Amino acid sequence: MKNDPPKKRHPLKRTATDASQSRPSSFKRSQYNRTAGDSLQSRPPSKRPPINPRNAKSTANLPSRDREGAVPPTKITPPQSSQRFSRNRPSNKPRKPIPNRPSAGTPPTSKGPKELLKTLDRILSKSGLGSRTEARSWIGTGRVRVNGLLVQTPDYWVNPKTDKILLDDKPIDLVERRYVLLNKPKGYLTTYKDPENRPTVYDLLTGIDQFLSTVGRLDLDTSGLLLLTNDNDLAEAITNPAYKLEKTYLVKSATLLTDDQLNQLRQGVELEDGRTRPAQLELIRQSEKHTFFEITITEGRNRQVRRMLEAVQSRALKLVRVKLGPLDLAGLPIGTWRDLTEAEVARLASGKIRPNAKASAESAAPEPSAKTLGDTTG
């Protein structure tokens, strides 16, 4: 209708009139302020400075239009790191340590071979006083002193043979040594606490009020002999590769193994972390689908026997550790534990290189039948 108000145009919508009045991109904005009688004129030539002779080489490859007004590049030198972050301190000057507070990872004034130096939390946990997590908590709360100095850094290096370590002003050397032999069942983790609340081997150690560290590990699906102790020196010697402690396992393979595969296991196979040492292998029997055998190794790599079988295109269905050096599982039901005798501890400590067959034969306890265990366990 005539009295209707005019429609408002959308601010972003262009009309045909706007399109006809669109200006060329090459024209200056001042050219659109001309009157109706004015005529379009070309842009005046730009007044550019002459080329600096010193920059002629750097601008030789540019187009002539760009070379006319080329400006020499300016070299910007960033400030040195010592000028930016050192706060007026020379970069080669070390920081002064805080008095009465040892720095992390710095050994104290202890003398001896480097292999004897251990972190403070490790020494406390291996001494049988508690787990490593508990040891770090004690150190952080100021309950530990080394050579009379308060130390609150768990990674502080100490020498257990020369440094005097006190927990609540009591030396840790006074802890009674204990050695426990456990027949670990399948399905138990070799750890102190599990975030998923799965059963651990410590759930089986009822009646023991001391913390005992495991000497080596057995994975979740492996059962058999496991040694626990708070004797740090003996545990370090047993787990040392130079000790060459014999470990005997009963194995049930998932496939029938040929003589060639068994010989490969005897001679050593190539793994991701290197070739294994030669092993002693005794064939127990061959069933319709599986092979039962006993293997003795002198290494302690992670899941070594299982990985050795995988290297010969097979795998372990059952795995039981029946011997650890001179120790065996004779008369120990699965899921139970017992303390080592003084004679067993002495035999472990005396075999610095490798326990011989004569010492193993003098064991007071009779050795279990390998064939019987191979058919019923693992």
Tokens of 47: 């007044």
Strands 247-253 and 316-324: antiparallel
Tokens of 189: 């983790």
Q: Of the candidates 333, 342, 339, 335, which has an alpha carbon nearest to the alpha carbon of residue 368?
A: 333
Strand positions, DSSP E, the chain: 118-119, 144-146, 149-150, 157-158, 165-167, 170-171, 179-184, 213-215, 223-229, 247-253, 270-271, 274-275, 280-286, 291-297, 316-324, 327-328, 337-339
The phi and psi torsions of 18 (rounded to 5 degrees) equal -65, -40
Instruction: Please list, in sequence order, all residues whose beta carbon lies within 8 angstroms of the beta carbon of residue 318, skipping any fewer than 6 positions away.
Output: 250, 251, 252, 377, 378
List % helix, strand, coil for the chain (3-state, nearest 5): 25, 20, 55
Q: What is the Cα Rg of the chain in Å?
A: 39
β-bridge mates for residue 316, sequence order: 253
Q: Is 221 a catalytic residue?
A: no
The phi and psi torsions of 6 (rounded to 5 degrees) equal -65, 145
How does DSSP classify residue 324?
Answer: E
Residue in the structure block whose two tokens are 């669109």: 22
Q: Which of 219, 233, 273, 339 is catalytic?
A: 219
CA dihedral 188, 193, 197, 198 (to 10 degrees): -10
Sign, Cα dihedral of 189, 195, 198, 200: positive
Q: Which residues are catalytic?
A: 219
